[in-house]
Homo-oligomer: A and B are copies of this chain.
């Protein structure tokens, strides 16, 4: 656990207030033009509602982690929740477990697993076992879970998709400083697990037993006749948003990983359904039961990852269309941004800062009249670290006392 200076201060300065905050995260929102001089996805999209809010509110750019740093979903969201994304790293195993809604307990050690193919000398020949179908993955996970027994611990082997699964080891006194058994290349056997301290050494021994028994059970399978593990980790012990900010926070997310990230910071997870319309309906339903509402929208990121510029434009327009129904709830503070950029040009997350909009009665408007990357670069908020957004929101809804006399 590591608190930013601002988290320490907001904890100290918090005061009760009734103001409500909506944080709408359009995943991977920021983009790039396809060619020099062109427009980004957001600049191309018709967004009359966001443009009107840009005129009424104040804009800027959010730097998710730091200069040149391309964030994964974990750091991107930790920053938006106000946590230092560099000092509060969420392990790959934990993220993967959150992504399948696995109810991780504080002492659990989780790892991301891959089924792979090894040759007769035990050397990896395919790190993904030909991307076996998910049904096969489900079957193999069940086989391992039902047959592997290690005294003193409980094991969970949970399928994710294709060759991917999650291993969770539940038991007392287990450390997570264990190396990956995945060598990240072919032609060599999986790496032995070793622990960096006595508690982690205990975990490593359990992992070795698990791998031995699994190898035996998978021997006659094809192509998934072996497995590798990486990202051993325990869930970080984070102070909640209630502790730090005095907020009753509610998450409205369709995808499990984002619900999981929200759960790590103590948010209540509401049933948000499957679609953006479902999420908005849930927001209305939950409105009286919280102070802070995190709405997560995935498809601006996935269309960016697909390199589908036109589809990302369409997804942005889909969001714009629901903005009036959010504003009809009269949030005291409305924030619209992304956890990182996902330019369709790059087909991946990127380090570029993310357009940011803040609307409140107490904001000092700027000259920006549309919501887009270039316009936001001239916005009144300037370029700010993403983890500064939450303290600003608290101030705008009267939740922070004066600091110092």
> Which A residues contact B (CB, under 8 angstroms)?
5-6, 9-10, 13, 32-33, 36-37, 40, 56, 61, 65-76, 85-86, 89-92, 95-96, 231, 343, 345-346, 348-352, 362, 364-367, 373-374, 377-380, 382-384, 388-389, 391-396, 400-405
Give chain B residues whose Cβ lies under 8 Å from the Cβ of A74.
404-405
- Offer 11 A-B interface pairs, CB within 8 angstroms, sorted by A: A10-B68, A37-B365, A65-B403, A68-B396, A85-B404, A231-B405, A345-B362, A350-B395, A351-B400, A366-B377, A367-B378
Q: Are B352 and A405 in contact (CB under 8 A)?
A: no
Q: Is the CB of A69 within 8 A of B365?
A: no
B13 near A404 with CB under 8 A, answer no
B405 & A6 in contact (Cβ 8 Å cutoff):
no
CA A67 – CA B358 in complex, angstroms?
13
Q: Of B68, B382, B394, which one neighbours A6 at CB under 8 angstroms?
A: B68
Contacts of A392 in B (CB 8 A): 67-68, 351
- Complex CA gap A76/B6 in Å reads 16
CB distance from A51 to the nearest CB of B (A): 15
Chain A interface, >50% SS class: loop
Instruction: Closest B residue to A345 by CB, please name it.
Output: B362
Residue of B nearest to A56 (CB): B36
Question: How many copies altogether?
Answer: 2
Top 8 A-B pairs ranked by shortest CB distance?
Answer: A68-B391, A68-B395, A67-B388, A72-B404, A75-B404, A382-B383, A74-B404, A67-B391
Given the interface pairs A86-B5, A364-B40, the reply to whether A71 lies near B404 with Cβ below 8 Å is: yes
Pairwise interchain contact B364-A373, C-beta atoms closer than 8 A: yes
Determine whether the beta carbon of B68 is less than 8 Å from that of A405. no
Is the Cβ of B66 less than 8 Å from the Cβ of A6?
A: yes
User: In the assembled complex, which residues on chain B have CB atoms less than 8 Å from the CB atom of A89?
Assistant: 404
Contacts of A402 in B (CB 8 A): 70-72, 348-349
- Assess the B366–A374 pair: CB atoms within 8 A: yes
Chain B residues within 8 Å of A401, by CB: 70
Tell whether A5 pairs with B66 under 8 Å between CB atoms, given A36-B56, A402-B349: yes
Q: Are B364 and A32 in contact (CB under 8 A)?
A: yes
Chain B residues near A36 (CB-CB < 8 A)? 56, 365
Contact B365 A352 (CB under 8 A): no
Cα of A366 to Cα of B73 in the assembled complex, Å: 27
State A56–B95 Cα separation when bound (angstroms).
Answer: 39
Alpha-carbon gap, A373 to B380, bound state (A): 9
B400 touches A68 (CB 8 A): yes
In this complex, what residue of B is CB-closest to A388? B67
Beta-carbon nearest neighbor of A385 in chain B: B67
B380 touches A374 (CB 8 A): yes
**Residue in chain B with minimal CB distance to A74:** B404
Instruction: List B contacts of A68 (CB < 8 A).
Output: 6, 10, 388, 391-396, 400
Docked pose: A5 CA to B91 CA in angstroms? 19
Q: For A389, what are the chain B residues with a Cβ–Cβ distance below 8 Å? A: 67
Given A66-B9, A374-B366, A378-B378, residue A403 in contact with residue B33 (CB < 8 A): no
What residue in chain B is nearest A387 (Cβ atoms)? Answer: B67
Nearest B residue to A72, CB-CB? B404
Q: Which residues of B contact A70 (CB under 8 A)?
A: 395, 400-403
How far does the Cβ of A29 sit from chain B's closest Cβ, in whole Å?
13
